[in-house]
Chain A
Amino acid sequence: QKEVEQNSGPLSVPEGAIASLNCTYSDRGSQSFFWYRQYSGKSPELIMSIYSNGDKEDGRFTAQLNKASQYVSLLIRDSQPSDSATYLCAVQGPYNQGGKLIFGQGTELSVKP
């Protein structure tokens, strides 16, 4: 089992729709979770971070965390063509292992005009 798993995609949604991206993780002790957006050939950029169970909203983006189910998701409301990118879920590893980010394989999102 991979440490962090995402829907393989690609995910295609029409402009204005809600895009839902999902991620599961294996280490029950994980505390910090991140969603990055990556355009082709570019470095990842942070969209959301979440540390507590529940929802966290920032503009059109909502991150949801359920530690009991070891599940974290990202909702993008009113999707725009500019949201078309690969979305990476990442979990922070323990500090005694360097606090490294452990990434899923990414989900490619395509928003159709």
Chain B
Amino acid sequence: DGGITQSPKYLFRKEGQNVTLSCEQNLNHDAMYWYRQDPGQGLRLIYYSQIVNDFQKGDIAEGYSVSREKKESFPLTVTSAQKNPTAFYLCASRLNYGYTFGSGTRLTVV
């Protein structure tokens, strides 16, 4: 079955450490997105990509980086510059009006 796989499901980061969240899709979708969700909040856009080797900043890109070397993969790196990274991270892809979400990664700073 086609879908989006996010890993890991839970991730713990130490202060000053960079961590990378994986997002892989086998839907052949061109557009992919990373969202962040804080408790009691909606989803806020971090980065998006509409085509391989191209990506754009969303509303809250500071402290994050992405790459899009393959159509299937859109990893998100949370850098040490992100001072409050504890949140639920969701990856999504789109074909026309149809959006598919991954199951999310919960990142906690320890």
Contact = CB atoms under 8 A, between A and B. Distances in A.
Contact of B106 (A4, A41, A51): A41
A101 B90 CA distance: 12
B87 to A, nearest CB: 12
Interface residues of B, number: 24
Given A103-B43, A106-B42, A98 B104 contact: no
Given A32-B97, A41-B106, A42-B103, A100 B45 contact: yes
A88 B99 contact: no
B16 to A, nearest CB: 27
B94 interface: yes
A80 interface: no
Nearest to B44: A103
B103 A106 contact: no
Interface residues of A, number: 24
B43 to A, nearest CB: 4
A44 B40 CA distance: 14
Contacts of B44: 103
Interface in B16-47: 31, 33, 35, 40-45
A64 interface: no
Contacts of A34: 99
Interface in A76-113: 88, 92, 98-106, 108
Interface of A: 4, 6, 32, 34, 41-46, 49, 51, 88, 92, 98-106, 108
